[in-house]
Amino acid sequence: MAYTLSSGSARRPRLNRDAVLAAAVGIADRTGIDGLTMRTLADELGVVPMAIYKHVSGKDELIDGMVDIVWAEVELPDATAGWRSAMRARAVSMRGALSRHRWAVGLMESRMQPGPANLRQHNAMMGCLRESGFSFRNTVHVTSVLDAYVYGFALQEKTLPFDTAEESGQVAEQKRSTQPETAAQDYPYLMEVVVELMRSGYDYTVEFELGLDLILDGIERLRPEWADEAGR
């Protein structure tokens, strides 16, 4: 019976939701979120645009699904390791996911229907902090400052016009030589720092972890104080 029903179009495996989402993530990774249209996605899948609407209600739901794929790539905090190293590992993992999927920066928290991986992640984060003795209020504070830093760093990383330390030098040099000669007079401090950056390079990972440790130190140092109000 099975073979009597299979038609000549058995070439391409039947479309399903996961295949649609995976293809969409691939396109967005390669060409940016603007390069992802229902039409380019359909082309990639070897299908007509309207075929996608059988698996996803529209572009919004498509993006909801893509964002939850990124959330699923973020390591869950392991509370048994202690809150500090759990929070550190989670932040590092999240920055990694966001630099692999730059289109996702700015979308991670903005979806009205948070997906299961998103909920699981936040639940684990709250759980780790609460079990480590943070009050409700301080759990919110810690989440807020760490997430802001991770999102903001990822945003800068997405947004700055170089990817590697070597490229940072090239871009700085190019900018220096492109600017009108007046720039060095009008913005002397800026030029000085740009020239120095060019000389010594810029490593995103080193920079990220330096700031992260500074913030974790701040949380740790303030903790006894915050613990005073632990009942609340």
Partner DNA sequence: ACCTGAACACCGTTCAAGT
- Binding stretches for a copy of itself (CB under 8 A): 105-106, 109-110, 112, 119-120, 122-124, 126-127, 130, 136-137, 139-141, 144-145, 147-156, 158-161, 183, 186-190, 192-193, 196-197, 200, 202, 207, 210-211, 214-215, 217-219, 221-222
Q: Contact region for DNA (CB under 7 A) — 53-61, 109-117, 163-171, 224-232?
A: 53-61
Determine if 49 is a binding residue for DNA (CB under 7 A). Answer: yes
Based on the shown chain and the rule CB under 7 A, indicate whether residue 187 belongs to the binding site for DNA: no
Q: Which stretch binds DNA (CB under 7 A): 49-57, 108-116, 196-204, 216-224?
A: 49-57
Smaller CB distance to a copy of itself: residue 23 or 68? Answer: 68
Q: Which does 196 bind (CB under 5 to 8 A by kind): DNA, a copy of itself, none?
A: a copy of itself
Length of the chain: 232
**Shortest reach from residue 26's CB to DNA, in Å:** 15
Q: x/- contact string, 68-107, with DNA (CB under 7 A)?
A: ----------------------------------------
Cβ-based neighbour number of residue 23 at 10 Å: 20
38: contact with DNA by CB under 7 A? yes
Report if residue 143 touches DNA, rule: CB under 7 A: no
Radius of gyration of the chain (CA): 23
Q: Does 14 bind DNA (CB under 7 A)?
A: yes
Residue 66 token pair? 């893509």
CB of 12 to DNA, least distance (A): 8
CA–CA separation, 169 and 4 (whole Å): 64
Q: Which does 223 bind (CB under 5 to 8 A by kind): a copy of itself, DNA, none?
A: none
CB of 41 to DNA, least distance (A): 8
Counting residues that bind DNA (by CB under 7 A) gives: 18
Report the residue number, 163 or 196, with the smaller CB distance to a copy of itself. 196
Structure tokens at 12: 């391409």
- CA–CA distance, 24 with 17 (Å, rounded to integer): 11
